[in-house]
Amino acid sequence: MLDEVARSEGVAIERGDVLLVRTGWTGWYTALSQAERDRIDRTTPQPGLAAVERTAEWLWDHHVAAVAADNVSLEPMPLDFREGHFLHFWLTPCLGIPIGELWWLDDLAAACARHRRWKFQLVSAPLNVRGGVGSLPPTRPPPFEPVHGAGEYRQRAYRRVRSR
Q: What is the pLDDT of residues 90-101, one digit of tens each?
A: 898 889 898 999
Residue 31 forms part of a structural domain:
yes
Phi, psi of 112 (to 5 degrees): -60, -45
Instruction: Please tell me whether the peptide bond between 138 and the residue prior to it is cis, using omega within 30 degrees of 0.
Output: no
Residue 79 forms part of a structural domain:
yes
Residue 87 forms part of a structural domain:
yes
- Judged on CB neighbours under 10 Å (0-12, 13-18, 19+), 3 is exposed
Residue 22 forms part of a structural domain:
yes
Label residue 32 by pLDDT band (50, 70, 90).
very high
Helices (H), ranges, 10-146:
25-30, 34-38, 53-61, 87-89, 106-115
What total number of domains does the chain contain?
1
Residue 154 forms part of a structural domain:
no
This prediction has a pTM of: 0.76
pLDDT digits (tens, 9 = 90+) for 104-141: 999 999 998 999 888 888 888 777 777 666 655 554 44
Residue 75 has pLDDT above 90, yes or no: yes
Do 77 and 42 meet the contact criterion of CB atoms below 8 Å apart? Answer: yes
pLDDT digits (tens, 9 = 90+) for 142-159: 444 444 444 444 455 545
> What whole-number distance in Å separates Cα of residue 144 and Cα of residue 113?
37
Residue 141 forms part of a structural domain:
no
Residue 64's CB: how many other CB atoms inside 10 A?
A: 21
- Judged on CB neighbours under 10 Å (0-12, 13-18, 19+), 110 is exposed
Residue 31 has pLDDT above 80, yes or no: yes
Give the domain range for residue 50: 2-124
> What whole-number distance in Å separates Cα of residue 121 and Cα of residue 126?
17
Residue 161 forms part of a structural domain:
no
Residue 46 forms part of a structural domain:
yes
The candidate with the shortest Cα–Cα distance to 110, out of 77, 70, 75, 74, is 70
Distance of CA 89 to the CA centre of its chain: 12
